[in-house]
Chains A and B, each alone.
Chain A
Amino acid sequence: MINYLIPTLVLVIIIYGLYKKIDIFDTFLEGVKEGINTSYKLFPTIFAMVISINLLTSSNLIEDLSKVLLPVFKIISFPPEVLPLALMKPVSGSTSIVILNDILSKYGPDSYIGRLSSLIGGCTDTTIYIISLYFGTIGIKKIRYALIVGLLADLICFIISTLVTNLLF
Chain B
Amino acid sequence: MINYIWAFLISLGIFYSIFKGDNNITNTLLTSGSTSIDMIINISTIMCLWLGVMNIARKSGLLNIIAKKLSPLITILFPEIPKGDECISYISLNIVMNMLGLGNAATPFGIKTMKELKRLNNKKDIASRSMITFLVINTASVTIIPTTVISLRLLNGARNSSDIITASIITTFLSLIISLIVDRLFFLIWRRKYD
Interface residues of A (CB under 8 A from B): 2, 5-6, 10, 13-14, 16-17, 19-20, 22, 24, 27-32, 34-36, 38-40, 42-43, 46-61, 64, 90-91, 97, 100-101, 104-105, 108-110, 114-115, 118-119, 121-128, 130-150, 152-154, 156-157, 160-161, 164-165, 168-169
DSSP majority for the B interface?
Answer: helix
- Inter-chain contacts of B187 with A (CB < 8 A): 145
Q: Which of A24, A122, A128, A131 contacts B168 (CB 8 A)?
A: A122
- Does B35 interact with chain A (Cβ within 8 Å)? yes
Using A2-B100, A121-B149 as known contacts, say yes or no to A47 and B33 having CB atoms under 8 A apart: yes
> What 10 pairs across the A-B complex have the smallest Cβ distances?
A31-B55, A55-B13, A122-B146, A39-B44, A35-B48, A54-B32, A31-B52, A109-B158, A153-B179, A52-B9
- Inter-chain contacts of B115 with A (CB < 8 A): 137-138
B 1-19 contacts with A by CB, 8 A: 1-2, 5-6, 9-10, 12-14, 16-17
CB distance from A141 to the nearest CB of B (A): 4
Kindly report which residue of chain B lies nearest to residue A162, judged by CB atoms: B171
Using A118-B164, A141-B125 as known contacts, say yes or no to A146 and B131 having CB atoms under 8 A apart: yes
